[in-house]
Amino acid sequence: MLLAPAGLAMLAGLDGALLLLGVPAPIRLHRLADVHGQLMVLGVVGTLVALERAVAVRRRAAFLAPLLLAAGSVALLSAAPVAVGHALHLGGTVALVGTYVVVWRRQPAPAIAVQGAGAAAAVGSALLLLAGVPVAAVTPWFVAFLVLTVVGERLELMRVAAPPAAVRAGILVAGIALLLGAAVALLHPRAGGAVLGLALLALAVLLTRHDVARRTVRSTGLPRFMALAMLAGFGWLAVAGGVWLLGGAVTDGRAYDAVLHAVFLGFVMSMVMAHAPVILPAVLRRPLPYRPVMLAPLVLLHVSLGFRLVVGDGWGSVTAVRVGGVANVVAVLAFLAVAVWSVAVGAPARPTVAAVPTMSAVPVEPLVASAALR
């Protein structure tokens, strides 16, 4: 049921994106542009993350986090003062930290600490917004939240590939640097940007070299789809790191658009697409079978993002930013439509996942198992 407000926040956030691009949008409400970033990060992805955790920990109290995050999004979309939405999002992020404390007690692993640190960054972002700090200055906290959440998940999966302890330590240090960078950027954007940039670059290199996606990309079906989405996402993380390192923690202009969407569309949205067929069935209580057609929105997302960032932000073409941005929206909507269709139609007559012989060599099952542990 909490997926409905997350879906509403997604549609409103996409409408806000069109308004920010300066192109025709179905609903021309100024407020949607103002709250686009917060809706997308805390309202859509934040609610999905919190919901997945709540289902996995199997405690009624854990549903408080997605409930408050979803309520915050509805408040942001209503005529209520924006402070109400900020306060509800703050409550939701604090509750999410509480959920990670429960998970940590059951499974005190570095991967959980990294994800908990991500949730702490979400609390920081919501606090800053409530205190009236402009959203542009809050964006490094948004980045820390979502990047640490995904990186923590990947770190958990790395147990399968058993990377050297130094690699895991490197990921932990880069994660701490990301949090530090977000704090420093508030006072000194150039120094903070350098720390943030180095942290993202380090994470991108470590993940690209050691994530299981490097092996699973050579398989077929869902594991290959997931690996492609993840490897492309790691590449975008490096792009964002480079922009922050060279330009500092920018708060407007072309570099601002580029760094934010390299992370949020190139890395985060790609990860959401990658994990949807594995994670969402537990939330939906219905299978979301992988279908090869899911590759189309994934490819469109990355190609259109490349066009937006290189031709648009890089060469300074407003038209290219608009064309690429609209294609980004189409890619996200197309993935949503394919996912809804896939759930409605159900599993194909011929199993595509369980019967693929190479599956024994790829760790989709550990992902599900680790989700169940949480």
Of positions 142, 145, 236, 307, contacts ligand HEM by CB under 6 A:
142
Of positions 64, 95, 128, 260, contacts ligand HEM by CB under 6 A:
260
Query: Given the structure tokens 């409550």, which residue do they identify?
Result: 91
DSSP string, 112-173: HHHHHHHHHHHHHHHHHHHTT--HHHHHHHHHHHHHHHHHHHHHHHHHHH---HHHHHHHHH
| Contact track, ligand HEM, 296-335, x by CB under 6 A | -----------------------------x--xx--x---
User: By CB under 6 A, is residue 135 in contact with ligand HEM?
Assistant: yes
CB of 256 to ligand HEM, least distance (A): 5
User: By CB under 6 A, is residue 45 in contact with ligand HEM?
Assistant: yes
Q: Which is nearer to ligand HEM, 231 or 329 (CB)?
A: 329
Biggest alpha carbon–alpha carbon distance for the chain: 58
Q: Which is nearer to ligand HEM, 150 or 362 (CB)?
A: 150
Query: Given the structure tokens 């979803």, which residue do they identify?
Result: 70
| Amino acid code (one letter) for 60 | R
Of positions 52, 156, 211, 257, contacts ligand HEM by CB under 6 A:
257
Q: Which is nearer to ligand HEM, 113 or 305 (CB)?
A: 305
Q: Which is nearer to ligand HEM, 139 or 342 (CB)?
A: 139
| Amino acid code (one letter) for 191 | A
Structure tokens at 369: 């198992």
User: By CB under 6 A, is residue 126 in contact with ligand HEM?
Assistant: no
User: By CB under 6 A, is residue 336 in contact with ligand HEM?
Assistant: no
Cα–Cα distance for residue pair 325/93, rounded to 1 Å: 29
CA dihedral over 36, 37, 40, 46, signed as positive or negative? negative
Q: Which is nearer to ligand HEM, 43 or 91 (CB)?
A: 43
Cα–Cα distance for residue pair 334/340, rounded to 1 Å: 10
DSSP string, 309-347: IIIIIITT-HHHHHHHHHHHHHHHHHHHHHHHHHHHH-S
Give the residues lining the site for ligand HEM (CB under 6 A). 14, 17, 20-21, 36-37, 40-41, 45, 135-136, 139, 142, 252, 256-257, 260-261, 264-265, 268-269, 325, 328-329, 332
